[in-house]
Structure 1
Amino acid sequence: MKFLDEMKVDSNSTWLDLATSCRKENVDDLVEIENELLDRYDEYDDLIENYLDDLDDSEFTDNKDLLKEYYEKPPAGLKKLILERRNDHELLECPFCGNPRSPDTLDHFIPKDNWPEFSIHPNNLVPQCRGCAPTKGEKYYCDEDEKAIFVHPIYSDILSKFKFRIVVEFSIQTKKPTFSLKIMKPRGLDNPSGDRVVKHLRALKLNQRVMDFCNREFTKWKNKLKNKNFDIRIALNHRIHEREDSEQSKNWKTSLYLGMLDNNDLIDYLNSLSTTENTDTEEFEEFEEFEELEL
């Protein structure tokens, strides 16, 4: 998970200017509410930073279809910026959940169905994976916890401070692994921040999604070893070190590979499917500076 502060757009008018200067048939309707939208944009930072407060009902519900149309069917100039934000971010994993696939969709952090005024506000558009998108959906605030459900990765760096640890156990009798996910909170970080991140990840149904991923990856490597001769320990270490040391364990894949390397029985079993012998004994990253949180 990564802090996306560099994606914050400082000018509130740039994207809206492209919309109001286009030649769409309904552009006059947008121009009519332009000043009210800009006033609302000016409030956005405070709305996100004051995550303990619920949002008031939108005053733009009568303009909902109009505002959503400018996101879903934008004019050319605006479409270019939306596509750049969706695809040209160079992210290797989802900033919301750590899914090790480059996100290829955009989340309206404040949902556009309920608050359509933020449909084309750039800071409300966050790259997100397609696993998070339907799970997050239109949810925003939890009345029970009295806070926003999710952490905004453009406005807060707390997600980027956490790491994943995947513990791998292996049954020699059944030849099957089991996986368990741990969320690693840096020591010294306050408990409310830890609670907030855990709630964020629970709301994204991370535990089940990571378990499904781990099982798919195990099957993938098992099939590869049956068809090719290579040392799984060397292969996993190569994959891990494709990431900078500081970024390891911040996505599911490297966390799983580290957990696999920590289980000699599993490694021995996988290598038994091939004809090579283990030659790489490089140690994996330890977690002395982190404490486990149950998800």
Structure 2
Amino acid sequence: MRKIPKPTLIAKDVFLECISTVGNLLLKQNYEKCQDLVEAAAQDFDNKFPLLEIYQIPRNLTVLGSIGKEEMKSVYTYRMVKDGMPGNTFYNTLKNSAPYGKCPLCSVRFVETLDHYLPKSLYPILSVVPVNLIPSCSSCNTGKKISFPTNSIEQTFHPYYDDIQDESWIKATLLPYDPFGFNYFVECPDSWEQIKKDRANNHFSSFKLNTLFTAHANEEFRGAKDHMKTLFNLHPDELIKHLDGAFRSRRDQLGINSWQAVMYYCLLKDNWFVQGGVLTF
């Protein structure tokens, strides 16, 4: 997961801009009555997340009076996402905050949408609250296993609040049989508290990172294995130098937990592979 600076956008200002073109006067007035509630909800989210208490936020389908789930979802869908609407500027700002346009939840696919950390269908008051909106690929947005946390452990990592990109917590092993492949798994630093380790495992599982990383690593290896064989045949040390350089460059440019860095580190540290196993593929 990649860290992203937390948005400085004020939730109430975003909400008011989104509803600024509502033509129905009564509906607009009812929306405006919700502005302080939206801001309070944003502050509650911001306060509870670092304490791992996000699951304590109530799932209220009614915001205020006649403004409920459908009305708030409409603000997001038609007044924030839709091109040309005043709120679309905020939508694009949040989408573009992901470094290099890559989804920060998986660090592999490109950003295509915004993911509601707490779903708008259950937490409508957070529909356009910036801290609840994460730039995301479509797969991470729709495919995560847990739609909302029911306890602290289920509070998956959030790019605005959790900074774990420089600590190694994802590893891989080479499966040296036909068909060959890699298996990615979580191995957290001993210094992490148990709840952080549990959250790491939950994040890894929820976003199906083993399946995603394995597919890319297998493809990368198929394209690189002949070159690795050539280097080994020149001298085993040449293969080791190559793997070490590949690992370091990918670690420095893509992150220590990127599937690329983890894959090359796995090969570098696999004694069987560097001592001749490479020739069996």
TM-score range, shorter chain: 0.7 to 0.9
Match of 2:96 in 1: 87
- Alignment length (residue pairs): 262
Match of 1:12 in 2: 11
- Provide Cα deviations, 1:94-135, integer angstroms capped at 9, x if missing partner: 4323x3344343211111222233222211111223332221
Match of 1:241 in 2: 248
Q: Structure 1 residues 213, 198: closer, same or farther in 2, change over 3 A?
A: same
> Does structure 1 residue 140 correspond to structure 2 residue 145?
no
> Does structure 1 residue 260 correspond to structure 2 residue 267?
yes
**Alpha-carbon contact 1:95-1:127 (below 8 Å) kept:** yes
CA distance in 1, matches of 2:141, 2:23: 31
Amino acid at match of 1:189: W
Q: Structure 1 residues 180, 234: closer, same or farther in 2, change over 3 A?
A: same
CA distance in 2, matches of 1:210, 1:140: 24
Amino acid at match of 1:8: P
Match of 2:65 in 1: none
Amino acid at match of 1:126: I
Match of 1:291 in 2: none
Give the TM-score normalised by structure 2.
0.74
CA apart distance, 1:194? 1.0
Match of 1:35 in 2: 33
1:51-62 map, 5 Å: 51-53=54-56, 55-59=58-62, 60-62=68-70
> Does structure 1 residue 72 correspond to structure 2 residue 81?
yes
> Does structure 1 residue 128 correspond to structure 2 residue 136?
yes
Q: Structure 1 residues 162, 153: closer, same or farther in 2, change over 3 A?
A: farther
Match of 1:279 in 2: none
CA distance in 1, matches of 2:141, 2:215: 17
> Does structure 1 residue 189 correspond to structure 2 residue 192?
yes
Unaligned segments of structure 2, at least 5 residues: 63-67
CA apart distance, 1:140? 0.6
> Does structure 1 residue 2 correspond to structure 2 residue 2?
yes
CA apart distance, 1:191? 0.7
**Alpha-carbon contact 2:116-2:133 (below 8 Å) kept:** yes
SS, match of residue 89 in structure 2: helix
Q: Structure 1 residues 111, 220: closer, same or farther in 2, change over 3 A?
A: farther
Deviates more, 1:145-154 or 1:125-134: 145-154
SS, match of residue 188 in structure 2: strand
**Alpha-carbon contact 1:177-1:266 (below 8 Å) kept:** no
Give the TM-score normalised by structure 1.
0.71
- Provide Cα deviations, 1:196-231, integer angstroms capped at 9, x if missing partner: 2212222222233333232222233348889xxx98
**Alpha-carbon contact 1:222-1:270 (below 8 Å) kept:** yes
SS, match of residue 66 in structure 1: helix
Q: Structure 1 residues 217, 134: closer, same or farther in 2, change over 3 A?
A: farther
- Provide Cα deviations, 1:35-92, integer angstroms capped at 9, x if missing partner: 3143233223434422242533221225145323223325444212312321343257
Q: Structure 1 residues 65, 185: closer, same or farther in 2, change over 3 A?
A: closer
Q: Structure 1 residues 55, 150: closer, same or farther in 2, change over 3 A?
A: farther
Unaligned segments of structure 1, at least 5 residues: 274-295
CA distance in 1, matches of 2:279, 2:14: 54
CA apart distance, 1:269? 6.4
Pairwise CA RMSD of aligned residues?
A: 3.6
Structure number with the bigger relative contact order (C-alpha 8 A, sep ≥ 6) is: 1
Q: Structure 1 residues 27, 203: closer, same or farther in 2, change over 3 A?
A: farther
Match of 2:224 in 1: 221
More helix, by proportion: 2
CA distance in 1, matches of 2:162, 2:43: 11
Query: Among the aligned pairs, what percent are the same residue?
Result: 19
Match of 1:276 in 2: none
Amino acid at match of 1:191: Q
Corresponding residue to 1:168 among 171, 174, 182:
174
**Alpha-carbon contact 2:165-2:256 (below 8 Å) kept:** no
Match of 1:280 in 2: none
